[in-house]
Amino acid sequence: MSELRKLFGTDGIRGVAGEYPLDTKTIFATGVALGRLLGAANKPLQLLLGADTRESSAWIAAVIAEGLQSGGATVANAGVITTPGVAYLTRKHGFAAGVVISASHNPWRDNGIKIFGSDGYKLPDEFELAIEAEIFRQLEITPPVGGPFLAPAADPRFVIEYEEYLWKLFPALDLTGLRLVVDCANGAASGIAPDLFSRLGARVDVTHAAPNGRNINAHCGALHPEIVAAETLKRGADLGITFDGDADRALFADANGKVVNGDGVLLLAARDLRSRGKLNQEKVVATTMSNMGLEAALRGDGVSMLRAPVGDKYVLEWMKEHRASLGGEQSGHILFPALSTTGDGLLTALVVLDIVRRSRKLLHELTADLKVFPQVIVNVKVREKRPLEEFVTITDTIRAAEEELKDNGRVVVRYSGTEPLARVMIEAESQSRMQFHAERIAGAIREELGAVLPV
């Protein structure tokens, strides 16, 4: 990801709703900028708009719709829908772009703007930089904007069409006799997931599917997979599924109440694709955060694992470069390019359920040999994201950890692409040394870059 970017992170523009860069003027300028840049190559220009269930999503959608229209575009509105739903519909209907108002897994006060190109893929870095430049230009020349702002009325046919697409992807999938616990994170999957899995014959126990604008991701969903795991065990269900706020990722729980994360999904999907001759190049693209245990298990099957930078758009770039047919992140973003242009939690769940049904095995049996190395992640809130290499104390502390752990562990230190955080991840066989080094590195970052907390 280019260090020159000021607005776009690894997944669009994100921040606290109502504050820069999600204040009214900047949102409006973003719409104008996108409309003008796309308008040069696409006539007539029409975009698709969708949003998650946050309290702020409706007014942000209205403001950006007005900005898009000022920039020369017309806007169709899918209403509340998953992020991958917008990607699919944008590509299918030939929209010039798809815009999603969502902050994914972030708390309800945050929000964001995600943009897909007409091909259904996330925008390349170069185009995001061009949008940024135009946004800043518009901010200089645009007078203060006032309301009221109004988004086009939502067309419910878009959500229905997206659900039909998912349902028809697996025409032979029959979930009769299977009991599922489905946690919708009070997010965009709430209006789709219960009906989808029920139509396939499953007995579905739905949790956290009553969004009120402020409960999205709140002690539920993919940020807290232990919740669905406990419910799956308590209810005697066969499998648990949990989504994040915009349902572009999914995590799972087996019948024993154990969480199965993206690494587990990559393992079972890789084995299934390989058994059917569909694992291109015998390769899987994961990220720097994926566990060494996944790498070892894949190696045992004759499959090599590549590590891309964190962010599903970067995983996809590596997949294209290496012609891989499977990639994803430990957090649950899984990419099946033969089926979708982006990570889709509902699609991932269908793939997992299809493998479970065809293999006639339970989820815990399919991932039983995944031996996970102990891993700790420490998040440090930072006041700015300066290159860590500028600080001798930080680099020396990281180097000391790497020297001691060598072949028996890994050290990954990076900034979050969506929040003002530095993430310290250490993986090692020794729990005590792992914790020691993680806290030392976090302490060094906190000393040099730590945010000043309110008194």
Which tokens sit at 149? 């702002």
104 among known catalytic residues: yes
Is cis: bond before 21, omega within 30 of 0? yes
Give the full edge-to-edge strand order of the sheet including 304-308: 304-308, 283-287, 327-328, 334-335
Give bridge partners of residue 239 from the DSSP assignment: 180
Q: Which of 56, 57, 102, 104 is catalytic?
A: 104
Catalytic residues: 104
